Every structure is written in C-alpha cells, then in structure tokens.
Amino acid sequence: MLQRTKYDTHDNTSNIVSKQITELLKNEITKTEFNFIKDKMFYSLGVAPTDLITNFQKLKDIIIELFGDERANQLITKLNAQLKL
C-alpha cells in the first residue's frame, strides 16, 4: 500500500508539472506552434501530454527543431525554471 501511495504521489506531481509546462508553452508560443509540438510528441513519439517530465529531453529536441537555437534556448530556460518551482 505504501509503495502504491508513493507511485500515485509521483504520478500526480508529474501530471501537475506537465500541466504547468503545457500552460507556459501556450502562453509563450502560437496555437499552431503548440499544436505542432503536441502532435509531434503524441503521434510521432507516443508521449502523452501528462508525461512531459519523463520525456522532457524529447520536448526540448522538438522545441529546438521548431524554433532554432536562440528562441529555443529562451523557451527551454523558462521551462527549466518552471521545473524548479
């Protein structure tokens, strides 16, 4: 039972942080750019929107691909700051 509780807590925390990352992206980029990232994560890589923490490197790779180094680094810095909260 204790092990299940730890897993549920981690899963819930990951889900909350994933939602915060999603909201941050929605506020920083256009809807079309957001949809591209979301579609690429899910359809190409099979990553659920609630699992962005585990697949953060994949998210960063897509952001770099879409925006190039300079803009991507700005977004990634904001995302990293969100993860530290």
Q: Are 8 and 54 in contact (CB under 8 A)?
A: no
Name residue, tokens 């190039």. Answer: 68
- If pLDDT is split at 50, 70 and 90, which confidence band does 11 have? low
Query: Is the pTM higher than 0.85?
Result: no
Give tens-digit pLDDT for 30-68. Answer: 999 999 999 999 998 888 877 888 899 999 999 999 999
Share of residues in the chain with pLDDT > 70 (%): 85
Phi-psi region of 47 (alpha: psi -120 to 50; beta: other; left: phi over 0): beta
* Mean per-residue pLDDT, 62-82: 95
**Which pLDDT belongs to residue 46?**
87
Q: Domain ranges for the chain, please list them.
A: 2-84
Which tops the pLDDT comparison, 14 or 45?
A: 45
Name residue, tokens 């991507």. Answer: 72
